[in-house]
Chains A and B, each alone.
Chain A
């Protein structure tokens, strides 16, 4: 059973545009992480959020955790071709024994 929904699945934009990726669940996350994966490699952690309403920034990337801790978003400002890759949200739930549950992923393509 997929507990975590990520959208959109695909995103193709021009360099300089802004974009937002969403991660939602019907259950409360105990914590949520965003990973980025480049072709032929494993995912790499970008950020961890734990507190409802939390906002974290990583250069042009802004991560928000919903007040109710059931949703999160990743916003990229002025996307660059180097941002191209697969973005994955991954959450932990209180009844899942600490295991990480991954969303389906968002494939982002930023064209010059």
Chain B
């Protein structure tokens, strides 16, 4: 039982390059999320998918797109990377039980944009 897996673990991009961050969960969860973590900012929600076939914007969606490929997989794409997107990206999943659901996080992708 791997939980939530993310690839790659590290990535360095040049400004303007594109890339896709991959996330998969094996807990049969309905909901999946993408966050970014910057020093002193906690985690900020980029996009989420409450259930398969739906996606919604979070707090900081500009410059990103997402795809809920199936129930297991949720990818995050940077079409034209900018230095401001240098961050640690976390994927998470949950059952979306409203008040008390636990979000399970992957190990993160450390992205540097030069």
Contact = CB atoms under 8 A, between A and B. Distances in A.
Interface of A: 6, 9, 30-31, 33, 40-45, 48, 50, 88, 90, 92, 98-105
A40 B100 contact: no
B40 A42 contact: no
A92 B105 contact: no
B18 to A, nearest CB: 25
Contact of A104 (B41, B90, B96, B99): B41
Q: How many residues of B sit at the interface, in one of the four size bands?
A: 20 to 34
Contacts of B90: 42-43
Interface of B: 4, 35, 40-45, 48, 58, 90, 92, 96, 98-100, 102-103, 105-108
A50 B99 contact: yes
